[in-house]
Amino acid sequence: MELALFDLDNTLLSGDSDYEWAQFLVEEGVLDRDRYAMENRRFYDQYKAGNLDIFEFLDFQLAPLARYPRRQLDLWHDTFMQRKILPIIREKGRSLLDRHRASGSLCAIITATNAFVTEPIAREFGVEHLLATELEVIDGGFTGRPHGTPCFREGKVARVDQWLHAQGMSVQSFSASWFYSDSLNDLPLLEYVTRPVAVDPDDVLRRTARERGWDVISLE
């Protein structure tokens, strides 16, 4: 059996769900446009440059979740899916997932974006296993803080190991391990698997993939 791991943002999606969620809240009038749109862009630029402080970003990104009851957040998310996410799903990404599933691979989406935002997206792709940044919950509500290891850079490797260990497996249990990603931030996990694949990569990842002989594909 093979293991197939898929980054979400700018890989299976032709956009970033974290960024789009904040933009959606701005458009809905939930967040102040002047402050949050500027901060959202700043963090997104840091991510693309490979110098994002994940804990500073999570303080910013998770704070709105602590201000509203889960029922209201879920209602907003339903609209968010229709307006922001469904239009940016890559059909070639769906097909790639389907091919791996059809061959019997164990498939998972692994993303730095938090689980509240990404769980419905993973369901839309029909993927059972999601490794995402988890959120602290107290008395049924989000606290605005992460829980456990953020699923970012080296944290993705740690989360994969934890997930497989809980199932009595390791990455060595598989005849091949694939990871599809667009981002230089995912180099630790790309280096960890046996079949790294750069998907519509940023300039740093494209150069690294060419130097190391990794596959480079497009899902656009």
Taking residues 87-103, report their average pLDDT.
98
CA atoms of 102 and 100, how far apart (whole Å): 5
Q: How confident is the model at residue 35 (pLDDT cuts 50, 70, 90)?
A: confident
Domain that holds residue 55: 2-217
Q: How confident is the model at residue 34 (pLDDT cuts 50, 70, 90)?
A: confident
Q: What is the pLDDT of residues 128-186, one digit of tens each?
A: 999 999 999 999 999 999 999 999 999 999 999 999 999 999 999 999 999 999 999 99
Coil, strand or helix: which one is 3? strand
Coil, strand or helix: which one is 79? helix
pLDDT at position 36:
85
Identify the active-site residue in 7, 16, 182, 202: 7
Number of folded domains that form the chain: 1
Q: For the chain, percent helix, then strand, then coil, each to nearest 5?
A: 55, 20, 25
Taking residues 82-90, report their average pLDDT.
98
SS (HEC) of 132-176: EEEEEEECCEEEEEEECCCCCCHHHHHHHHHHHHHCCCCHHHCCE
Q: What is the CATH number of the domain that holds 53?
A: 3.40.50.1000
Q: How many residues does this entry show for the chain?
A: 220
Name the average pLDDT for the chain: 96
Is 161 annotated in the active site? no
pLDDT above 90 (res 69): yes
pTM of the model: 0.96
Give the CA radius of gyration of the chain: 17
Taking residues 65-77, report their average pLDDT.
96
Identify the active-site residue in 9, 182, 186, 202: 9
pLDDT at position 40:
87
